[in-house]
Amino acid sequence: LAPAHLWYPEVVQGTTLRTALIISTWQKLAPLTLLYLTMNKLPTNVLLLMGLLSALIGGWNGLNQTQTRKILAFSSIAHMGWLLIALTLSPALATLTLATYLLMTSAIFICLDTTTTKTISDMNTAWTQSPPLLATMTIILLSLGGLPPLTGFTPKWLILKELMLMGLGPFSTLLAIAALPSLYFYIRMTYLATLTTPPSTTTTEYKWRLKPNYKINFATISTLSITLLPLSPLLYLTL
């Protein structure tokens, strides 16, 4: 969370994609548990401002990055801002936001690890390994950006609705604007992966005798990270 976020992108950049996945998902549970237990003794205004600041810094600093791990690190900072705001509004909403974040982040890290994509320029040639996997990765990126009707739109929509019901219209407007830089670099990654082709003299289109090894049930995770929006009202009411 901003302003104590400077260590996180450098740590994620210096690790492997699988280690970065653990840092970006499992490592979040302990501080969020502490925030939940001490929520009644913390000022709400300060938490809301920290959440807005994290969303702004995460989106703004991710604009000029070329390393996918750093982009996802700043994306994680921005999502933590949304998660902190959800925690101040409702524990059930925070649980739903955390669940969708864990699903989408796990799915995108598995995609990047499978295609060995470390920079955004590597996304130009990711289709040679598996075109369906690349198509799935682009949709997951748009889901991380919060575009409807994908899963990532669900927590943003519910958080903004709760803020409007509390009479915080200007704050919700600023929060929605803060999500635009993050959406921009997700769309940029999608554009580089699908609509650009690097100059190549190779005579083959696909890697020869490629046998991708999916050790994790990727199909379930990717499906949930894309198509969970219709079930979001039921999940929100049952939490």
Residue the block writes with tokens 């995460």: 58
User: Is 201 contained in some domain?
Assistant: no
Distance CA 54, CA 51 (A): 5
pLDDT in tens, 188-238: 888 888 876 655 545 445 555 555 555 556 667 777 777 777 666 666 665
155: how many CB neighbours lie within 10 A of its CB? 25
Higher pLDDT, 109 or 205: 109
What pLDDT score does 110 carry?
86
User: Is 68 contained in some domain?
Assistant: yes
User: Is 39 contained in some domain?
Assistant: yes
Higher pLDDT, 204 or 185: 185
3-class secondary structure per residue, 7-47: HHHHHHHCCCHHHHHHHHHHHHHHHHHHHHHCHHHCCHHHH
User: Is 1 contained in some domain?
Assistant: no
Give 127's Cβ-side CA count (13 Å radius).
Answer: 15
Euclidean distance between the first and final Cα of the chain, in Å?
Answer: 25
Tokens of 61: 């600093």
pLDDT in tens, 72-89: 999 999 999 999 999 998
Q: How confident is the model at residue 53 (pLDDT cuts 50, 70, 90)?
A: very high
Phi, psi of 119 (to 5 degrees): -130, 165
Which range of residues forms the domain containing residue 161? Answer: 7-196+213-238
The amino acid at residue 155 is P
User: Is 171 contained in some domain?
Assistant: yes
Q: What percent of the chain has pLDDT over 90?
A: 17
Segment among 15-29, 137-151, 224-238 with least mean pLDDT: 224-238
Q: What count of residues does the chain have?
A: 239
Question: What is the overall mean pLDDT for the chain?
Answer: 82
Tokens of 98: 């955390």
User: Is 207 contained in some domain?
Assistant: no
Three-state secondary-structure class, residue 119? strand
Higher pLDDT, 16 or 222: 16
What pLDDT score does 80 carry?
92
Higher pLDDT, 29 or 126: 29
> DSSP secondary-structure letter at 196?
-
Spatial contact of 23 and 12, defined as CB atoms under 8 Å apart: yes
User: Is 160 contained in some domain?
Assistant: yes
What DSSP element (H or E) covers 73?
helix 68-89
Distance CA 191, CA 208 (A): 26
Residue 140 has pLDDT above 70, yes or no: yes
Higher pLDDT, 168 or 217: 168
Q: What percent of the chain has pLDDT over 70?
A: 85
Q: How confident is the model at residue 40 (pLDDT cuts 50, 70, 90)?
A: confident
User: Is 205 contained in some domain?
Assistant: no
Q: How many domains does the chain have?
A: 1
What pLDDT score does 111 carry?
85
pTM listed for this prediction: 0.84
